[in-house]
Structure 1
Amino acid sequence: MSLRSPRRLLVGATLAGASALVLAGCSGGSSSDDGSEISILIDNAETTVATMEALVAAFEEAHPDIHVDIETRPQGTEGDNIVKTRLSTGEMTDLFAYNTGSLLQALNPDQMLVDLGDEEWVSTLQDSFTPVVSTDEGFYGAPLGQTSSGAIFYNKTVYAELGLEVPTTWDEFVANAEAVKAQAPDVAPIIQSYGETWTSQVLVLGDFANVMAADPDWADAYTANEAKYVDDPAFAGFRHLEELNAAGLFNEDYASTTYDEALAMLADGEGAHYPILSWAIQNIAANNPDAVDDIGLFAIPGESAADNALTVWQPGAVYVPTSTEGARLESAKTFLAWLTTPESCAVQVEATGVPYGPFVIDGCELGDDVPSVVTDEVAYFDAGTVQNALEFLSPIKGPSLEQITVAVGSGITPAAEGAQQYDDDVTKQAQQLGIEGW
């Protein structure tokens, strides 16, 4: 899987401003043969657009001979298809931002992307990042943003009022949710937001640290077609979705609630928990700034408190398609070299004011004034109790997970049937990728 959504940074842009940046057609963006003007494609989330505007402005100030035009695309599956189509037709912009890990592998990077392995800035990246933009043949992406984690946001005021403690096992988590249901009937014990289907995946994918704690070889076995989601330990995520829905622990309007509405509920104390990725704190900072310090984070619990760990997503990246050549290629590389500097990281932190996880570039710091969500998150990093998400350990990701998890979490599809559907989805994807053993 990949959680594809507003994963980039920054607050303050308007949707009208974002719309104004959309270029007509699929011409590959505005660029010039002499490299004085290049283009970049990003998703159309408000935070993504605003972040790139800030980065481009700072880059152009440092490199006044290069202008960068920004083009946007939809998020989710529609956006994935646009990226694949434009790459295959040679109509991609000079640069484009996209996911790392399994979704990158589906782009056929060895044929479609420029190998950046010889660039000097590659040596400044953390070892945990380089594999997620690499194949056996090359290295393809510069990081954009910070690491994030699939976790549970919780309202600390609700916890304090009800005398709850942060859980370290799944049973403790469910008990906390049941306590909210019993003692605070106007508060949703666990928020779900199936109005935006990508959010339904978090309880399955964010459970991966627990899967690896139970079976450290699981990711390799999965890639070799020797481990399945229909079996434990991976089945737990599907089982948990079914369990929580059956217990009536979701908000009543979970089927139509959007991501923004879910975060507003959490910030206002209308919900106690929300499984989401840590970069969501930026949305709260933008829309409910007074509530930022009321929100905490804990790892999705598993069966054992001793193995309680955080599932981590590496940042996305910016890539160069092979259709970018000559002077445009050199300008694109200049942009990537600047993007991977502490100066670029500082622009991102200053622009948002709300970091959401550690950077993967040497010399990039978060600063001292960070939300409590990030303080909670960094504690797992400091303790070494973190685990890269599956998409960074395996190239195989079924594209239909978000639809399957919506059905399971809605009580439409039994957990075992949903897990089998996803195993079938994964099989098709592995066969399409030509992975041995499938």
Structure 2
Amino acid sequence: MKNRANKLIISTFVVLGASISNATELSILVDNSPDTVALTQALTSAYSKLNPDITFEIELRPGGGEGDNIVKTRLATGEMADVFLYNSGSLLQALRPSRTLEPINDLANFSNILSSFTSTVSDDKGNVYAVPIQTAMGGGIFYNKRVYEELGLKVPKTWQEFMENCAIIAEKSKSAPIAQTYRDTWTSQLLVLSDFFNVQAEKPNFATDYTNNKANFATTPAALRGFEKLQQVSEAGYFNDYYGAATYNDGLNMVATGKAAHYPMLTFAIPSIKLNTPDYIEDVGFFAQPGDDADKNGLTVWMPAGYYIPKESDQKEEAKAFLNYIATVDACDAITKAIGANGPYLIKGCTLPDNVYPAVKDMLPYFQEEGRTAPALEFLSPIKGPMLEQLTVEVGSGIRNAQSAAELYDQDVAKQARQLNLPNW
């Protein structure tokens, strides 16, 4: 089932001195971000040291929509790796997990996985399909602390304060106020997706009404606001030069070095900043995307991606044994050692080191204070239209306005809901 054509194989781990004549090789398909590659190398290396008869082949795929299509195609054609990395939440449902994936409820360490994660990788029959890698994460805005200090700026708690900060940066600094990186189209979505805490604060029933086709983005002002914010910063000219050609790694480098003052992103990027620009990791802070009310300031939270096993794998037991290891404190420690920790782990007993990076410290108070976090919409509803990243690129590029994009996204969502056979659609 493993067609290796056109695959980039970056590493095979073999424990020196071990006999490999009867070794089992497991293939793993992951996205090509540096932090994902580093943590996968760390976990597979640690597991091979404990189990010298197991070796690993790591294959890379792009992120975003292109990566989604690769995963769906390989599952459909029976060419999926023995283990693969994929999202939790609504995007998982598009894989038809009960048909294509192997449940992992029978893992010996299954009870170590927190229910806040398992609920996002399960079907309506209670089958769970993944173990988490990395930590819970926040969606918001990285900022350069040196730029803020030099200009005497304070972390904003409202969108108006954020825009005022951007205006000062544009006037008094050489830094771009906001980094955008549309070559990696998935990164264009953050200003819309990270606004969901603010949507829920104003419309607590939005996720339920949205799922039941009683509310949408174009006609709900609180939900439309995320598209409007993207349009506003674009029209203000606050983006970096050549943002259409800039990559995710470019954005991280810009905010770390001060070439940009802000970069809207998920906190899973903290390890990549450490890997790419280790001398600047202490200069990067983080805050939740502000809403319009300072008294309702909070963080939109994402569950991490997980490792899955395809139902057609011919090495299910070996793959399950590897996932069973991932659900341990030792695996958490291997991840922390390799790339650091960027939020709370979702495996029981796993803890954060005292010397976490400033951006992690900035995020933790949201988790520690009641009512200051809310799950992203994709963890409250099974619907997420695949066109969103193309539409947000168009809004950010001035090709389409917020209202038009929201209307088209609602149409995209309706198609997705019908494909999932949801009621009321």
Global fold match (TM > 0.5): yes
Report what 2:368 is aligned to: 382
Q: Distance in 1 between matches of 2:322 and 2:203?
A: 41
Report the TM-score, using the length of structure 1 for normalisation.
0.89
Report what 1:268 is aligned to: 257
Q: Quick one: which of 313, 330, 335 aligns to 1:343?
A: 330
Report the TM-score, using the length of structure 2 for normalisation.
0.92
Deviation (angstroms), 1:415 = 0.8
Q: Deviations over 1:266-300 (max 9, x none)?
A: 22222211111112222221222221111111000
Which amino acid in the other structure matches residue 212 of structure 2?
A
Q: Distance in 2 between matches of 1:44 and 1:276?
A: 17
Which amino acid in the other structure matches residue 111 of structure 2?
S
Report what 1:371 is aligned to: 357
Report what 1:414 is aligned to: 401
> Is this contact kept in 2: 1:35–1:330, CA < 8 A?
no
State yes or no: 1:426 paired with 2:413.
yes
Which amino acid in the other structure matches residue 382 of structure 1?
Q
Q: Distance in 1 between matches of 2:66 and 2:233?
A: 30
Q: Distance in 2 between matches of 1:195 and 1:226?
A: 35
Report the CA distance shift for 1:217/1:268 in structure 2 as closer, same or farther (over 3 A).
same
Q: Quick one: which of 10, 13, 18 aligns to 1:21?
A: 10
Report what 1:313 is aligned to: 302
Q: Distance in 2 between matches of 1:110 and 1:88?
A: 13
State yes or no: 1:333 paired with 2:320.
yes
> Is this contact kept in 2: 1:35–1:331, CA < 8 A?
no
Q: Quick one: which of 221, 225, 229 aligns to 1:236?
A: 225
Which amino acid in the other structure matches residue 349 of structure 2?
G
Report what 2:343 is aligned to: 357
Q: Distance in 2 between matches of 1:284 and 1:44?
A: 15
Q: Distance in 1 between matches of 2:66 and 2:283?
A: 35
Q: Quick one: which of 74, 85, 88 aligns to 2:73?
A: 85
Deviation (angstroms), 1:44 = 2.8
- Aligned-residue CA RMSD in angstroms? 1.9
Q: Distance in 2 between matches of 1:49 and 1:338?
A: 18
Deviation (angstroms), 1:303 = 1.1
Deviation (angstroms), 1:82 = 2.0
Q: How many residues were matched structurally?
A: 408
SS in 1 for 2:26: strand
State yes or no: 1:169 paired with 2:190.
no
**Structure 1 runs not aligned, ≥5 long:** 1-17, 24-31
> Is this contact kept in 1: 2:8–2:59, CA < 8 A?
no
Deviation (angstroms), 1:98 = 0.9
> Is this contact kept in 2: 1:124–1:361, CA < 8 A?
yes
Report what 1:403 is aligned to: 390
Deviation (angstroms), 1:92 = 1.9
Q: Distance in 2 between matches of 1:324 and 1:308?
A: 45
> Is this contact kept in 1: 2:34–2:272, CA < 8 A?
no
Aligned-residue sequence identity (percent) comes to 48
SS in 2 for 1:129: helix
Q: Deviations over 1:387-412 (max 9, x none)?
A: 11111111101101111001111111
Deviation (angstroms), 1:187 = 1.7
State yes or no: 1:115 paired with 2:96.
no
> Is this contact kept in 2: 1:145–1:348, CA < 8 A?
yes
Report the CA distance shift for 1:35/1:94 in structure 2 as closer, same or farther (over 3 A).
farther
State yes or no: 1:147 paired with 2:144.
no
SS in 1 for 2:116: coil
Report what 1:128 is aligned to: 116
State yes or no: 1:196 paired with 2:184.
yes
Q: Deviations over 1:338-363 (max 9, x none)?
A: 011010011111011x3211110011
> Is this contact kept in 1: 2:64–2:184, CA < 8 A?
no
Q: Quick one: which of 175, 180, 187 aligns to 1:187?
A: 175
Report the CA distance shift for 1:208/1:35 in structure 2 as closer, same or farther (over 3 A).
farther
State yes or no: 1:100 paired with 2:88.
yes
**Structure 2 runs not aligned, ≥5 long:** 1-6, 13-19
Deviation (angstroms), 1:35 = 8.4
Which amino acid in the other structure matches residue 77 of structure 1?
G
Q: Distance in 1 between matches of 2:247 and 2:322?
A: 35
> Is this contact kept in 1: 2:11–2:57, CA < 8 A?
no
> Is this contact kept in 2: 1:35–1:329, CA < 8 A?
no
Q: Distance in 2 between matches of 1:288 and 1:205?
A: 26
Q: Distance in 2 between matches of 1:41 and 1:195?
A: 22
